[in-house]
Structure 1
Amino acid sequence: MAANTDQIVENKLYVGGLKKFSNPKTMKYWADVVDNVVLFNPEFVSQQLENARKKVQEVKNAGGEVLIIMDKQLYKDDLESLCEEQGVHYFNYKVPAGVFTNFETLKSRIKQMNELKDFIQSDDFSALTKKEKSSTQKKLKKLESIYKGVKNLKALPSLVIIVDGVYLSNFVNEVERLGLDNIIVTNSEFNRYRDEERLLMTNTNSYKSLDFVLKYILK
């Protein structure tokens, strides 16, 4: 059942950005401007939510891999919990540049992280000095802070969901250049035209909005 207007309003999905920063290319999704704030048409938001959920389910049902990229501290821990629960890969901290273009480099970082994790559980680690143990643990912690959400990613994902297409515009460019299937979750500042099947125009600056959107399309 599609999200209704009451849910969209209650969870603030319809609230865009300030008009002076909003891009005219997003105007078709606007319903109004109140106190210089763009308000999205709830019907568009509802349809795009449904499109995104359908695409995610199709990929998962076909055995494909879904990856979410988001670098928003207000939802960092929640994204980790949600993705772990739903079997979805994620980046939620200092997303490395060129992650898809340099996929072999990404795989080497994941391998290094997994090997360090195994090493720390081994007898060889127990034999290290206190200083060596601390150095190894710090190295693992740094790698995990960035790569733990993709520890099981073996190949390029079937679907990439980029949350905040304005802030992460470089990743939008990358997935489009490589032809990776994608969904862009973005706000009224977004500066390009896109296929509506791959766009979710919503409030990207509210915890409540992000929580509703991500749970809706992943579950």
Structure 2
Amino acid sequence: MSGLSHQEMLDASVHFGHLRKKWNPKMLPYIFMERKGIHIIDLNKTNEGLERAASAMKKLARAGKKILFVATKKQAKDMVAKAAEEIGMPYVTERWLGGMLTNFSTIRKSIKKKQSIKKLLEEKSTALTKKERLMLSREYDKLDRILGGVEDMSRAPSALFIVDISHEHIALAEAKRLGIITFAMVDTNSDPTQVDFAIPANDDASKSVGLITGYLVNSIKEGLAERQKEKTDDYDTHEQQGEGDSGSAEKGNRRDAARNRNLQKRRRNRTSSSSEGGEE
């Protein structure tokens, strides 16, 4: 992949930062100019950060690693959830529970509780009153809303992709504490040095979030496709080796059979010669 065009990013408002008074000085290398009190992000820097992040995500996907998508802002959560589901990655788009990463065993217990409630509600033979069923349904809906995106995550992820690190500061802090790789869209009011792969971009506009996320998702798809191809190639190689081994064994059996026939023939000839010598 070769990055996004400037026109694509301009159309999605990727270049718009925050008011100058809200800026983080560490974003200076990524700011192109100031216009009417608003910082304008350098789109060349955006593409550089995007390509670097996309390449790293592709490698993670190819290696079978999980990337947790985090975006609880209203204008971002639906599209990020859809994007993560599209590639089979976990996501958090409602409330980030404290300890989601640092106390993952407790989160797993909550997920198991959710699964137990679902099973209970699906069993029509269960003697639940109407009130009990209603209460359980409400509890299930709450757990599903918060934990539904990480239900299949059996262990902490290898990386996080975050939309707005200022808003998702708890998630970022937990990831850093555990040494988990972090990717993020970083606006002019945030500190890009807090993440491993910073993508300078407008993290408030839904079009901007959608464009950047979509590009990264396509890179992950490429990594997943390469992983699948490697698996298929390995399977075909093993199959061919198996056929080769079978063919070699068959040839060996034929050689052994021919050797035995020749040996038996020589024995018969020797026996015949001995008999003729005795008659003389």
Give the TM-score taking structure 1 as reference length: 0.94
CA contact (8 A) 1:22 1:190 kept: yes
Q: Which has the higher contact order (CA 8 A, sep 6+)?
A: 1
Q: Does 2:29 correspond to 1:23?
A: no
Once the 2 structures are TM-superposed, how far is the Cα of residue 85 of structure 1 from its aligned partner?
Answer: 1.2
Match of 1:146 in 2: 146
Task: Quote the residue 1:177 is aligned against.
Answer: 177
Q: Partners in 1 of 2:149 and 2:177 — Cα distance?
A: 24
| 1:104 equivalent in alignment to 2:86 | no
One-letter code of the match for 1:129? T
Match of 1:208 in 2: 207
Q: In structure 1, what is the Cα distance between the partners aligned to 2:159 and 2:66?
A: 7
1:162-186 CA-partner distances (Å, limit 9, x unpaired): 2111112222222112101111222
Question: Structure 1 residues 63, 192: CA separation in 2 closer, same or farther (over 3 Å shift)?
Answer: closer
Look up the equivalent residue of 2:137 and give its one-letter code.
Q
Higher Cα Rg: structure 1 or 2? 2
The question of whether the paired residues in 1 share the 8 Å contact of 2:96 and 2:171 is answered with no
Counterparts of 2:54 and 2:118, CA distance in 1? 34
Provide the rounded CA distance (Å) in 1 between the counterparts of 2:162 and 2:174.
11
| Residues in 2 aligned to 1:47 and 1:176: alpha-carbon distance in whole angstroms | 23
State the alpha-carbon separation in 2 of the partners of residues 94 and 23 from structure 1.
26
How high is the sequence identity, in percent, across the aligned residues?
24
Instruction: Give CA-to-partner distance per residue, 1:152-204, whole Å, 9 cap, x none.
Output: 00001011112111112222222112101111222111135256x51111101
Separation (CA, whole Å) in 2 of partners of 1:171 and 1:80? 16
Which residue of 1 is the match for residue 61 of structure 2? 60
Cα displacement (A) at 1:14: 1.1
2:200 and 2:6 mapped to 1: Cα distance? 15
Once the two structures are superposed, the pairs formed by residues 22-171 of structure 1 within 5 Å of their partners are 22-125=23-126, 127-171=127-171
Cα distance in 1, alignment partners of residues 24 and 41 from structure 2: 13
1:10 aligns with 2:43: no
Is the Cα–Cα contact under 8 Å of residues 166 and 187 in structure 1 kept in the other structure?
no
Given that 1:16 and 1:188 are in contact with CA atoms closer than 8 Å, whether structure 2 keeps it comes out as yes
What amino acid maps onto 1:165 in structure 2?
I
What amino acid is the match of 2:61? K
Structure 2 alignment gaps of length 5 or more? 219-280
In structure 2, the residue corresponding to 1:193 is in which secondary structure?
helix
Residue 192 of structure 2 contacts residue 198 of structure 2 at CA under 8 Å; is this kept in 1?
no
| Distance in 2 between residues matched to 1:80 and 1:129, nearest whole Å | 35
- When you count helix as a share of all residues, which structure comes out higher? 2
What amino acid is the match of 2:124? D
Q: Which SS does the other structure have where 1:123 is aligned?
A: coil
TM-score (ref. length: structure 2)? 0.74
Q: In structure 2, what residue type is equivalent to 1:145? A: R
The separation in 1 between residues aligned to 2:54 and 2:47, in whole angstroms, is 11
- Specify the code of the residue in structure 2 equivalent to 1:115: S
